[in-house]
């Protein structure tokens, strides 16, 4: 899915979603998540290391090593993309946070689709939004 990065967003989204049903999907099932994102935003849970809180631009990949007792944060996956080409390409989710427009780029950020910490993906728990 070709997505336009968030710089073009001028105002708060006016669309409201209703969660009619949820199902938990393993974050490693990226292709299934991509299919769902084509249809609608997807609620997710992200591990929140300090790099996530401070995220502005770039792709959030978390620290080099896994840490115990890391808090999580609910986000909504609204798109995805790839930065770069070839072996250095980085795949990411575009997520919207509930922390408002001061976080990330106007309330949106990029989270790695591929990076793992201690064998765990940063986006691990996914719920389907209908």
- Where are the chain's structural domains? 21-128
Burial 108-128 (b: 16+ CB within 10 A, else e): bbbbbbebebeeebbbbebbb
Between 51 and 1, the more confident residue is 51
Above 50 in pLDDT, residue 44? yes
Q: Tell me the fold of 21-128.
A: Cathepsin B; Chain A (3.90.70)
pTM score of the predicted model: 0.76
How many percent of the chain have pLDDT more than 70? 66
Q: How far apart are CA 21 and CA 7, in angstroms?
A: 32
Residue matched to tokens 């997807």:
42
Above 90 in pLDDT, residue 114? no
pLDDT-derived band at 19 (thresholds 50, 70, 90) equals low
Give the pLDDT of residue 51: 85
Give the pLDDT of residue 112: 87
Between 66 and 2, the more confident residue is 66
Is-contact 27 124, C-beta < 8 A?
yes
Closest CA to 116 of 5, 3, 53, 26: 26
Give the pLDDT of residue 120: 66
């Amino acid at each position: 899915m070709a997505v336009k990065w968030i710089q073009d967003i001028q105002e708060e989204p006016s669309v409201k979603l209703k969660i009619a049903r949820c199902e938990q999907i393993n974050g490693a099932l990226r292709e299934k998540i991509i299919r769902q994102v084509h249809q609608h935003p997807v609620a997710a849970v992200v591990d929140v290391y300090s790099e996530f809180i401070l995220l502005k631009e770039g792709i959030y990949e978390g620290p080099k090593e896994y840490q115990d007792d890391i808090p999580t944060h609910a986000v909504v996956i609204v798109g995805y993309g790839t930065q770069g080409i070839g072996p250095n390409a980085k795949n990411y989710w575009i997520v919207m946070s509930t922390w408002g427009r001061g976080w990330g780029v106007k309330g949106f950020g990029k989270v790695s689709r591929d990076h793992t910490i201690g064998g765990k993906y940063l986006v691990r728990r996914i719920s389907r939004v209908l």
